[in-house]
Amino acid sequence: MSIFSNRPKVTPVPSPVAAPGTGSTAADAALPVEKSDAEWRQELTPEEYRVLRQAGTERPYTGEYWDSHTAGVYQCRACGAELFTSSEKFDSHCGWPSFWAPLADGTVRYIHDRTVGMDRVEVRCASCDSHLGHVFEGEGYGTPTDQRFCINSVSLKLVSTDDAAK
């Protein structure tokens, strides 16, 4: 089933319960993370805050991971939830990291986004509601899902397979 069919306008709703954990594993990703605006501002750099909490976009070809081929798991930079893996990452040549699917169902959520005069689907971390990027469909990439999750590098933290083994 496509995430693009029957797209109602969805307004983000803050998570109802504060989570004691960091959301650093796939199991923890189901636990909602709720922090005040002041806490987010204290924990994130100004650029991270602009993208993750204000739905900004980093400039293309400037992010840390747009051209990375390192094996590992990409976590949400805000809460540590595991979102994508290098196995689903592909070279789309768009200037941002691109994935053809998230790590698992429920790790990201989708919001119909009509900002900046476009009709698109925003991708957010299901754990902390941080903005990650957008997902596009039907662009002709030779991927199993025909989708391109175009994600801001600043929204992610890569834990390489080598680092995870240590």
Residues acting as catalytic residues = 150
**Looking at residue 30, what DSSP letter applies?**
G
Q: How far apart are CA 127 and CA 27, in angstroms?
A: 11
Q: For tokens 């994130």, what's the residue?
A: 44
∠ at Cα 15 (120, 126), nearest 5°? 45
β-sheet bridge partners, residue 107:
none
Q: For tokens 């636990």, what's the residue?
A: 31
Q: For tokens 């991927």, what's the residue?
A: 143
Q: What is the largest CA-CA distance in the chain?
A: 46
